[in-house]
A = this chain, B = another copy of it.
Amino acid sequence: MRHAVILAGGSGTRLWPASRRARPKQLLPLEPDGSSLLAAAVRRGQAVAGARVVIVTAADQLEATRTNLVHHGLGDVELLGEPMGRNTAAAIGLAAATIARRDPDAALVVLPADQHVVDEAGLIQVLELGLAEAERADVIGTIGITPTRPDTGFGYLEVADAKTTNRVIPVLCFVEKPDRERAQTYLASGRYLWNAGMFFVTARRLLAELDLRLPATAAVVRSIADGGDPGAYAQLASISIDHAVMEKATGVVTIPASVGWDDVGSWAALPALLGVDDGGNTISGQGIVIDGHDNVIVTDDGVLIATVGLSDVVVVKSGDAILVIKREQAQDVRKVVEALSALGLTRYQ
Protein backbone atom coordinates (compact mmCIF):
# COMPACT_ATOMS: atom_id res chain seq x y z
CA MET A 1 0.00 0.00 0.00
CA ARG A 2 1.03 3.59 -0.47
CA HIS A 3 1.73 5.78 2.56
CA ALA A 4 2.70 9.40 3.08
CA VAL A 5 5.15 10.48 5.77
CA ILE A 6 4.98 14.16 6.67
CA LEU A 7 8.09 15.55 8.37
CA ALA A 8 6.96 18.27 10.76
CA GLY A 9 9.94 18.59 13.05
CA GLY A 10 11.15 22.04 12.05
CA SER A 11 11.72 24.64 14.73
CA GLY A 12 11.02 27.36 12.21
CA THR A 13 13.37 30.03 13.49
CA ARG A 14 13.66 31.36 9.96
CA LEU A 15 10.21 32.91 10.12
CA TRP A 16 10.62 34.46 13.56
CA PRO A 17 8.72 36.28 15.06
CA ALA A 18 5.67 34.65 13.43
CA SER A 19 7.22 31.26 14.01
CA ARG A 20 8.23 30.52 17.57
CA ARG A 21 9.39 27.47 19.42
CA ALA A 22 5.75 26.86 20.34
CA ARG A 23 4.42 27.71 16.86
CA PRO A 24 6.74 26.44 14.12
CA LYS A 25 6.59 27.53 10.51
CA GLN A 26 4.45 24.62 9.29
CA LEU A 27 1.61 25.67 11.60
CA LEU A 28 1.42 29.25 10.28
CA PRO A 29 -1.41 30.13 7.87
CA LEU A 30 0.95 30.88 4.99
CA GLU A 31 -1.08 29.31 2.18
CA PRO A 32 -2.99 31.83 0.06
CA ASP A 33 -6.27 30.27 1.25
CA GLY A 34 -5.30 30.71 4.89
CA SER A 35 -4.36 27.07 5.43
CA SER A 36 -1.23 26.11 7.26
CA LEU A 37 1.62 24.64 5.23
CA LEU A 38 1.12 21.47 7.30
CA ALA A 39 -2.52 21.16 6.24
CA ALA A 40 -1.49 21.60 2.61
CA ALA A 41 1.15 18.88 3.02
CA VAL A 42 -1.33 16.50 4.64
CA ARG A 43 -3.82 17.01 1.82
CA ARG A 44 -0.99 16.38 -0.65
CA GLY A 45 -0.22 13.15 1.17
CA GLN A 46 -3.87 12.12 1.26
CA ALA A 47 -4.11 12.66 -2.49
CA VAL A 48 -1.55 9.89 -3.09
CA ALA A 49 -1.99 7.70 0.01
CA GLY A 50 -5.61 8.12 1.08
CA ALA A 51 -5.98 7.78 4.84
CA ARG A 52 -2.47 6.36 5.27
CA VAL A 53 -0.75 9.59 6.30
CA VAL A 54 1.63 9.73 9.27
CA ILE A 55 3.05 12.98 10.63
CA VAL A 56 6.35 12.84 12.48
CA THR A 57 6.82 15.76 14.84
CA ALA A 58 8.59 16.63 18.07
CA ALA A 59 6.84 15.28 21.18
CA ASP A 60 6.57 18.80 22.61
CA GLN A 61 4.86 20.00 19.42
CA LEU A 62 2.28 17.20 19.33
CA GLU A 63 -0.43 19.24 21.01
CA ALA A 64 0.02 22.35 18.85
CA THR A 65 0.15 20.14 15.75
CA ARG A 66 -3.00 18.29 16.73
CA THR A 67 -4.83 21.57 17.37
CA ASN A 68 -3.77 22.87 13.97
CA LEU A 69 -4.97 19.69 12.23
CA VAL A 70 -8.34 19.81 14.00
CA HIS A 71 -8.68 23.46 12.97
CA HIS A 72 -8.25 22.36 9.33
CA GLY A 73 -10.65 19.43 9.62
CA LEU A 74 -7.77 16.94 9.60
CA GLY A 75 -8.10 15.71 13.17
CA ASP A 76 -7.97 12.03 12.19
CA VAL A 77 -4.42 12.10 10.89
CA GLU A 78 -1.95 9.90 12.76
CA LEU A 79 0.82 11.62 14.71
CA LEU A 80 4.15 10.12 15.66
CA GLY A 81 6.07 11.99 18.34
CA GLU A 82 9.86 12.03 18.40
CA PRO A 83 11.18 12.33 21.96
CA MET A 84 13.56 14.97 20.57
CA GLY A 85 14.74 16.16 17.18
CA ARG A 86 17.32 13.84 15.58
CA ASN A 87 17.21 15.09 11.99
CA THR A 88 15.60 13.40 9.01
CA ALA A 89 17.38 10.03 8.90
CA ALA A 90 16.01 9.06 12.32
CA ALA A 91 12.58 10.64 11.73
CA ILE A 92 12.06 8.88 8.41
CA GLY A 93 13.47 5.66 9.87
CA LEU A 94 11.01 5.83 12.77
CA ALA A 95 8.08 6.36 10.38
CA ALA A 96 9.25 3.59 8.04
CA ALA A 97 9.68 1.09 10.89
CA THR A 98 6.28 1.98 12.32
CA ILE A 99 4.54 1.63 8.96
CA ALA A 100 6.45 -1.54 8.00
CA ARG A 101 5.21 -3.25 11.13
CA ARG A 102 1.63 -3.12 9.87
CA ASP A 103 2.40 -3.11 6.11
CA PRO A 104 5.73 -4.75 5.24
CA ASP A 105 5.24 -3.94 1.55
CA ALA A 106 4.58 -0.25 2.12
CA ALA A 107 5.72 2.30 -0.44
CA LEU A 108 6.40 5.73 1.07
CA VAL A 109 6.44 9.31 -0.09
CA VAL A 110 8.19 11.55 2.39
CA LEU A 111 7.01 15.17 2.36
CA PRO A 112 8.34 18.08 4.43
CA ALA A 113 5.47 19.85 6.23
CA ASP A 114 6.69 23.37 5.56
CA GLN A 115 6.68 23.78 1.78
CA HIS A 116 4.39 25.63 -0.57
CA VAL A 117 3.44 24.29 -4.01
CA VAL A 118 1.51 26.24 -6.61
CA ASP A 119 0.71 23.32 -8.91
CA GLU A 120 -0.54 20.69 -6.44
CA ALA A 121 -2.02 18.53 -9.22
CA GLY A 122 1.31 18.55 -11.04
CA LEU A 123 3.20 17.55 -7.90
CA ILE A 124 0.72 14.77 -7.09
CA GLN A 125 1.26 13.33 -10.55
CA VAL A 126 5.01 13.32 -9.93
CA LEU A 127 4.60 11.71 -6.51
CA GLU A 128 2.42 8.97 -7.98
CA LEU A 129 5.04 8.35 -10.65
CA GLY A 130 7.66 8.07 -7.90
CA LEU A 131 5.57 5.68 -5.82
CA ALA A 132 4.93 3.50 -8.85
CA GLU A 133 8.66 3.40 -9.60
CA ALA A 134 9.47 2.52 -5.98
CA GLU A 135 6.93 -0.30 -6.09
CA ARG A 136 8.10 -1.54 -9.51
CA ALA A 137 11.88 -1.35 -9.17
CA ASP A 138 12.46 -0.83 -5.42
CA VAL A 139 14.48 2.29 -6.19
CA ILE A 140 15.15 5.12 -3.80
CA GLY A 141 14.33 8.47 -5.29
CA THR A 142 14.01 12.17 -4.61
CA ILE A 143 11.89 14.79 -6.32
CA GLY A 144 14.07 17.29 -8.19
CA ILE A 145 12.67 20.78 -8.57
CA THR A 146 13.54 22.65 -11.75
CA PRO A 147 15.42 25.69 -10.41
CA THR A 148 14.00 29.14 -11.18
CA ARG A 149 16.76 31.21 -9.60
CA PRO A 150 20.38 30.72 -8.48
CA ASP A 151 19.37 29.93 -4.92
CA THR A 152 22.17 29.30 -2.43
CA GLY A 153 19.86 27.89 0.22
CA PHE A 154 19.32 24.43 -1.29
CA GLY A 155 21.37 21.38 -2.12
CA TYR A 156 21.37 20.48 -5.83
CA LEU A 157 21.07 17.23 -7.80
CA GLU A 158 23.20 16.83 -10.90
CA VAL A 159 21.46 14.98 -13.75
CA ALA A 160 22.08 14.53 -17.47
CA ASP A 161 19.16 16.76 -18.40
CA ALA A 162 17.17 18.76 -15.87
CA LYS A 163 14.70 20.15 -18.36
CA THR A 164 12.50 17.20 -19.23
CA THR A 165 10.09 16.93 -16.34
CA ASN A 166 7.87 14.11 -15.11
CA ARG A 167 10.09 11.15 -15.89
CA VAL A 168 12.40 9.05 -13.74
CA ILE A 169 16.10 9.70 -14.37
CA PRO A 170 19.30 8.80 -12.52
CA VAL A 171 20.92 11.24 -10.09
CA LEU A 172 24.57 11.65 -11.11
CA CYS A 173 25.66 13.53 -8.04
CA PHE A 174 24.39 15.23 -4.87
CA VAL A 175 25.80 18.74 -4.44
CA GLU A 176 25.92 20.77 -1.20
CA LYS A 177 24.48 24.29 -0.99
CA PRO A 178 26.58 26.25 -3.51
CA ASP A 179 27.88 29.80 -3.35
CA ARG A 180 26.26 32.44 -5.55
CA GLU A 181 28.58 32.06 -8.50
CA ARG A 182 28.32 28.29 -8.56
CA ALA A 183 24.54 28.47 -8.20
CA GLN A 184 24.42 30.67 -11.29
CA THR A 185 26.52 28.15 -13.20
CA TYR A 186 24.17 25.36 -12.11
CA LEU A 187 21.12 27.30 -13.23
CA ALA A 188 22.64 28.11 -16.62
CA SER A 189 23.86 24.55 -17.26
CA GLY A 190 20.41 22.95 -17.37
CA ARG A 191 21.89 19.93 -15.55
CA TYR A 192 20.94 20.71 -11.96
CA LEU A 193 17.79 20.39 -9.86
CA TRP A 194 16.91 21.57 -6.36
CA ASN A 195 16.88 18.80 -3.81
CA ALA A 196 13.49 19.49 -2.27
CA GLY A 197 13.55 16.93 0.53
CA MET A 198 10.68 14.91 -0.96
CA PHE A 199 11.50 11.22 -1.29
CA PHE A 200 9.93 8.03 -2.60
CA VAL A 201 11.07 4.61 -1.47
CA THR A 202 9.68 1.37 -0.10
CA ALA A 203 9.83 0.95 3.66
CA ARG A 204 11.80 -2.24 3.12
CA ARG A 205 14.48 -0.56 0.98
CA LEU A 206 14.71 2.42 3.33
CA LEU A 207 15.20 0.22 6.39
CA ALA A 208 17.74 -1.91 4.50
CA GLU A 209 19.70 1.22 3.65
CA LEU A 210 19.64 2.27 7.32
CA ASP A 211 20.76 -1.23 8.37
CA LEU A 212 23.73 -0.79 6.07
CA ARG A 213 24.69 2.81 6.77
CA LEU A 214 23.26 3.69 10.20
CA PRO A 215 22.80 0.34 11.94
CA ALA A 216 22.30 1.84 15.42
CA THR A 217 19.51 4.08 14.12
CA ALA A 218 17.91 1.17 12.28
CA ALA A 219 17.92 -0.95 15.44
CA VAL A 220 16.50 1.78 17.67
CA VAL A 221 13.69 2.84 15.35
CA ARG A 222 12.68 -0.81 14.88
CA SER A 223 12.72 -1.29 18.65
CA ILE A 224 10.58 1.81 19.27
CA ALA A 225 8.14 0.73 16.55
CA ASP A 226 7.88 -2.59 18.38
CA GLY A 227 7.00 -0.81 21.64
CA GLY A 228 10.51 -0.47 23.08
CA ASP A 229 11.91 2.41 25.14
CA PRO A 230 11.62 5.72 23.22
CA GLY A 231 14.44 7.09 25.39
CA ALA A 232 16.98 5.29 23.18
CA TYR A 233 16.16 7.84 20.46
CA ALA A 234 18.31 10.39 22.31
CA GLN A 235 21.47 8.43 21.49
CA LEU A 236 20.92 8.45 17.73
CA ALA A 237 23.18 10.35 15.38
CA SER A 238 21.59 13.61 14.25
CA ILE A 239 22.11 13.32 10.51
CA SER A 240 20.03 14.07 7.44
CA ILE A 241 18.67 11.33 5.19
CA ASP A 242 20.62 12.94 2.35
CA HIS A 243 23.99 12.62 4.08
CA ALA A 244 23.21 9.24 5.67
CA VAL A 245 21.59 7.45 2.75
CA MET A 246 20.86 9.29 -0.50
CA GLU A 247 24.41 10.40 -1.25
CA LYS A 248 25.74 6.90 -0.65
CA ALA A 249 23.04 4.62 -2.00
CA THR A 250 23.32 3.12 -5.46
CA GLY A 251 20.84 3.69 -8.25
CA VAL A 252 19.27 6.79 -6.74
CA VAL A 253 16.78 8.39 -9.12
CA THR A 254 14.90 11.63 -9.36
CA ILE A 255 11.88 13.05 -11.17
CA PRO A 256 12.37 16.61 -12.38
CA ALA A 257 9.31 18.65 -11.48
CA SER A 258 8.29 22.19 -12.32
CA VAL A 259 5.39 22.81 -9.96
CA GLY A 260 5.89 26.26 -8.43
CA TRP A 261 7.61 24.85 -5.38
CA ASP A 262 8.97 26.97 -2.56
CA ASP A 263 10.27 25.98 0.85
CA VAL A 264 9.28 29.35 2.39
CA GLY A 265 12.75 29.33 3.86
CA SER A 266 12.65 32.96 4.93
CA TRP A 267 10.47 36.06 4.82
CA ALA A 268 12.07 36.82 1.46
CA ALA A 269 10.06 33.92 0.01
CA LEU A 270 6.72 35.48 0.90
CA PRO A 271 6.23 37.54 -2.29
CA ALA A 272 6.29 34.27 -4.27
CA LEU A 273 3.38 33.04 -2.16
CA LEU A 274 1.30 36.18 -1.70
CA GLY A 275 2.20 38.14 -4.81
CA VAL A 276 3.26 41.78 -5.02
CA ASP A 277 1.28 44.99 -5.50
CA ASP A 278 1.92 47.65 -8.14
CA GLY A 279 4.65 49.16 -5.99
CA GLY A 280 6.45 45.82 -5.79
CA ASN A 281 5.53 45.45 -2.12
CA THR A 282 4.03 42.39 -0.47
CA ILE A 283 1.67 43.36 2.33
CA SER A 284 -0.21 41.00 4.63
CA GLY A 285 -2.44 42.94 6.99
CA GLN A 286 -2.69 46.72 7.36
CA GLY A 287 0.37 48.24 5.77
CA ILE A 288 1.32 51.55 4.18
CA VAL A 289 4.51 52.00 2.16
CA ILE A 290 5.62 55.56 1.36
CA ASP A 291 8.64 56.24 -0.85
CA GLY A 292 9.67 52.59 -1.01
CA HIS A 293 9.39 49.38 -2.99
CA ASP A 294 10.06 45.66 -2.77
CA ASN A 295 9.24 45.57 0.91
CA VAL A 296 7.57 42.67 2.70
CA ILE A 297 5.15 43.71 5.43
CA VAL A 298 3.35 41.26 7.68
CA THR A 299 1.33 42.34 10.66
CA ASP A 300 -1.23 41.11 13.14
CA ASP A 301 -4.91 41.97 12.91
CA GLY A 302 -5.56 45.57 13.90
CA VAL A 303 -1.93 46.68 13.98
CA LEU A 304 -0.78 49.06 11.26
CA ILE A 305 2.76 49.12 9.87
CA ALA A 306 3.91 52.20 7.96
CA THR A 307 7.28 52.49 6.25
CA VAL A 308 8.80 55.65 4.81
CA GLY A 309 11.86 55.92 2.61
CA LEU A 310 12.82 52.26 2.83
CA SER A 311 13.08 49.60 0.15
CA ASP A 312 14.01 45.91 0.17
CA VAL A 313 13.12 45.64 3.82
CA VAL A 314 11.06 43.04 5.67
CA VAL A 315 8.92 44.21 8.60
CA VAL A 316 7.03 41.59 10.59
CA LYS A 317 4.88 42.15 13.66
CA SER A 318 3.69 39.02 15.38
CA GLY A 319 2.44 38.98 18.93
CA ASP A 320 4.92 40.58 21.28
CA ALA A 321 7.78 40.94 18.81
CA ILE A 322 8.70 42.97 15.75
CA LEU A 323 11.39 42.14 13.20
CA VAL A 324 12.87 44.68 10.80
CA ILE A 325 15.43 43.11 8.50
CA LYS A 326 17.14 43.84 5.21
CA ARG A 327 15.47 41.53 2.69
CA GLU A 328 18.74 40.14 1.35
CA GLN A 329 19.70 39.22 4.92
CA ALA A 330 16.40 37.50 5.67
CA GLN A 331 18.24 34.27 6.51
CA ASP A 332 20.00 36.09 9.35
CA VAL A 333 16.87 36.15 11.48
CA ARG A 334 18.48 33.18 13.24
CA LYS A 335 20.94 35.71 14.68
CA VAL A 336 18.02 37.31 16.49
CA VAL A 337 16.85 34.00 17.88
CA GLU A 338 20.41 33.28 19.00
CA ALA A 339 20.66 36.71 20.62
CA LEU A 340 17.37 36.15 22.45
CA SER A 341 18.78 32.92 23.79
CA ALA A 342 22.06 34.54 24.82
CA LEU A 343 20.22 37.41 26.55
CA GLY A 344 17.84 35.08 28.36
CA LEU A 345 14.85 36.63 26.56
CA THR A 346 13.32 33.21 26.03
CA ARG A 347 9.77 34.54 26.18
CA TYR A 348 10.27 35.95 22.69
CA GLN A 349 11.76 32.77 21.18
Chain A positions near chain B (C-beta within 8 angstroms): 17, 286, 288, 290-291, 299, 302-310, 313, 315, 317, 320-326, 328-329, 332-333, 335-336, 339-340, 343, 345, 348
15 additional contacts (CB under 8 A) given A304-B348, A306-B325, A322-B322: A291-B335, A299-B322, A302-B320, A303-B320, A304-B320, A305-B322, A306-B323, A307-B323, A307-B324, A307-B325, A308-B329, A309-B328, A309-B329, A310-B325, A317-B322
Q: Indicate if the CB atoms of B326 and A310 lie closer than 8 Å.
A: yes
**A308 contacts B320, C-beta separation under 8 Å:** no
Contact B304 A345 (CB under 8 A): yes
Q: Name which residue of chain B comes closest to A343, CB basis.
A: B288
Q: Are A332's CB and B290's CB within 8 A? A: yes
Residues of B within 8 A of A286 (CB): 345
Q: Is the CB of A321 within 8 A of B303?
A: yes
Cα distance A322–B315 when bound, in Å? 10
In the bound complex, do residue B306 and residue A321 qualify as a contact, i.e. CB atoms below 8 Å apart? Answer: yes
Bound-complex Cα distance A106 to B312 (A)? 58
Most chain B CB within a 10 A radius of its CB, from A290, A306, A325: A306
Separation in Å of the A64 CB from the closest CB of chain B? 21
- A293 to chain B: closest CB distance in Å? 13
Q: How far is the CB of A333 from chain B (nearest CB, A)?
A: 7
Q: Write the nearest CB–CB distance from A302 to chain B, whole angstroms.
A: 6
- A201 vs B36: C-alpha distance when bound (angstroms): 68
Task: Kindly report which residue of chain B lies nearest to residue A324, judged by CB atoms.
Answer: B307
